Amino acid sequence: MDHLTKEQRHKNMAANKSKGTKLEIMFGKFLWNAGIRYRKNDKSVFGKPDFVLRGSKIAIFCDGEFWHGRNWNIRKNDHKSNCKFWHSKIERNIERDKEVNEELRKQGWKVFRFWETEITVNPDVCLNEVLNYMNRKSTTDEKIAITKMCGGGKISMQMYGPHSLNEDGSIISFEEQMAIVSHYLHNQGNKYAKPYEIKAEGLIEDIYNIHQKKSDIQCVSDVCVQYSLFSDLFAVPFLPIEKPKFTFIDLFAGIGGFRMAMQNLGGKCVFSSEWDVQAQKTYLLNYGEVPFGDITKESTKSFIPDDFDILCAGFPCQAFSLAGKRLGFEETRGTLFFDVAEIIRRKRPKAFFLENVKGLLIHDKGKTIQTILKVLREDLDYYVPEPQIVNAMNFGVPQHRERVYIVGFRKDQNVNEFTYPTPTDTTKTFADIKEKNTVSAKYYLSTQYVKTLVAHKERHAAKGNGFGYEIIPDNGVANAIVVGGMGRERNLVIDNRLEDFTPVTNIKGEINRDGLRRMTPREWARLQGFPDNFIIGVADASAYKQFGNSVAVPAIQATAQEIIKRINLSKSKKYGTDRK
């Protein structure tokens, strides 16, 4: 007998949705976090599946137990009222599901149907069914190539297990899982592995069991097995130092300019963070480590080890909305500098090294730098000498790149003076970093684009402005390479070695015959001091962005050397443990 009135029952039944249910929203988030893009309830696909993956011809249905009749032969007797109506309705739903499955399979679709409790209780199992089907061509005896799996734009293979869930039941993104694993493997055997250890070993167990289609916890705990599973992490050009002189963390890491400089000096990176996916890919290809993502999240900060020596960060320049209100540390809340300062407060490194654009010194009429220095000196109690603008062209790269450096020392290091490095090499010109061989025609400007640049420069010249393109001679020094605006056009060069003027991209007009071209990504890498064995594994657009955002390695290295001279690298009392 129904205990609800007819009106109440009608209201309850009307509230049931046929699409956009909580269950679908939940599973949609799982798919999205796994890097799978889909269409919802695509009307052009028979049966309007809850999720459609057109590229893989996969149709996914999320079925509620009641409406789709799970264990119907047993549960049908649960209906105590209006049985004829409900039996007819649900049995018709069951038949319709079978008809939809059959028709989709005839059309070449792979159909997945997951019950509500399967999704809510074991979402990783449901996800892996889809992912394993998508990767069915991979063989079980392959090594697990993280450099292939974390491929930037499209992740070719992902795996999820019981350990890939957060405490709230949400899925840890695959990039973060690989960040945990790669940091653990590169720090295994020392105290800096501790924050990663428990989670990493669980994830490695999941990946091994799913990949090998068997469960063997004892085998997974074997170090040799772990290294063989992820051997590509150790087949990179710039592996961590085995017997480091000091340790550091790399925040806002980009493609690892700070890391390159610090490793050159004998340092070992024990934590890295970078939110840009394409930059993460370049970092992985060169250092064998996936950086953690958003450093503003407490979950990311929780993985930072204690007792490292130096904090490195090239943080963005942001105004402080509360600046001038004498709130000290709180003035910086909501900015990325706040996160840097908070990590310094918790972990108390022996020293820090911050880099920013030179405009920081005059940003917000000088209030920004005043607030930063006040926090570092007074609230965090570090010795901080006056910031200094350092030009990369004074340290062996032909690029006029001025950046402001801020360094600081913990008071127990007894540092009361600091001298920024003097120029070491001012002789380099573009000829020293120019491509040795003829470059692709795609770097040469079209005649139409040359006309546009000339007209643009003439318009600004008429107004008394100096904006516009610029040609760097072989014996000249490049302007600062930057992202956006006229970054590439301010660093054009003349190169008359091209003989085949057939366009390799869609251009207006034809390739100019004056030899006018952009610098290549490799030339930009050299302008920033990266060696030629640094892997550029992304498209040109991403490469220009990454090198334009990077620090100049030689200038960073020269300054870091002065920092290292002044800190005590012997073992000292621990800092950072349980500091909140």
Radius of gyration of the chain (CA): 29
pLDDT reported for residue 363 = 85
Q: pLDDT tens digits for 447-495?
A: 999 999 999 999 988 888 877 899 999 999 999 998 876 778 999 999 9
Instruction: Record the tokens describing residue 185, joined without a space.
Output: 């493997």
3 state SS of 517? strand
CB neighbour class for 442 (10 Å; exposed up to 12, middle 13-18, buried from 19): middle
The Cα-based distances of 556 to 131, 339, 340, 421, 559 in angstroms read 43, 22, 18, 10, 5
pLDDT reported for residue 559 = 98
**Mean pLDDT on 127-138:** 70
Residue whose pair of structure tokens reads 């079925």 in the numeric block = 63
pLDDT reported for residue 304 = 98
**Mean pLDDT on 91-113:** 91
pLDDT reported for residue 326 = 44
Band (pLDDT 50/70/90 cuts) for residue 212 is low
- For the chain, what percent of residues have pLDDT higher than 90? 56
Residue type, 337: F
pLDDT reported for residue 87 = 77
**Mean pLDDT on 296-302:** 93
269 given a catalytic annotation: no
Are 553 and 286 a contacting pair, CB within 8 Å?
A: no
pLDDT reported for residue 6 = 57
Angstrom distance (rounded) from CA 102 to CA 38: 22
Is pLDDT above 90 for 540? yes
pLDDT reported for residue 521 = 97
126, 150, 312, 317: which one is catalytic?
Answer: 317
* Nearest CA-CA partner of 118 in 127, 109, 110: 127
Q: pLDDT tens digits for 434-447?
A: 999 999 999 999 99
Residue 324 phi, psi dihedral angles, 5° rounding: 95, -5
Angstrom distance (rounded) from CA 576 to CA 580: 9
Is pLDDT above 50 for 328? no
Q: pLDDT tens digits for 246-264?
A: 999 999 999 999 999 999 9
Is pLDDT above 90 for 17? no
Angstrom distance (rounded) from CA 68 to CA 265: 64
Band (pLDDT 50/70/90 cuts) for residue 19 is low
The Cα-based distances of 552 to 151, 247, 311 in angstroms read 26, 20, 17
Q: Return mean pLDDT, the chain.
A: 85
pLDDT reported for residue 511 = 96
Q: pLDDT tens digits for 151-181?
A: 444 334 455 677 877 777 677 888 899 999 9
pLDDT reported for residue 579 = 46
Angstrom distance (rounded) from CA 110 to CA 59: 6
pTM of the model: 0.76
Ramachandran assignment for 247, one of left (phi > 0), alpha (psi -120 to 50 degrees), beta (any other): beta
Angstrom distance (rounded) from CA 237 to CA 221: 27
Q: pLDDT tens digits for 38-80?
A: 999 898 999 999 999 988 899 999 988 887 888 877 777 666 5
Residue whose pair of structure tokens reads 């009749």 in the numeric block = 69
Counted residue by residue, the chain has a size of 580
Band (pLDDT 50/70/90 cuts) for residue 148 is low
Band (pLDDT 50/70/90 cuts) for residue 142 is very low
Angstrom distance (rounded) from CA 398 to CA 160: 47
Band (pLDDT 50/70/90 cuts) for residue 323 is very low
* Nearest CA-CA partner of 434 in 495, 392, 514: 495
Band (pLDDT 50/70/90 cuts) for residue 195 is very high
Is pLDDT above 50 for 145? yes
Instruction: Record the tokens describing residue 441, joined without a space.
Output: 């025609």
pLDDT reported for residue 144 = 52
**Mean pLDDT on 358-373:** 89
Q: Domains plus CATH for the chain?
A: 6-129 (3.40.960.10), 138-235 (no CATH), 252-428+551-580 (3.40.50.150), 430-550 (3.90.120.10)
Are 397 and 552 a contacting pair, CB within 8 Å?
A: yes
- For the chain, what percent of residues have pLDDT higher than 70? 83
Residue bearing the bigger pLDDT, 523 or 22: 523
On the CB side of 95, how many CA atoms lie within 13 Å of its CA?
6
Q: pLDDT tens digits for 377-396?
A: 999 999 999 999 999 999 99
Is pLDDT above 70 for 21? yes
Residue bearing the bigger pLDDT, 386 or 324: 386
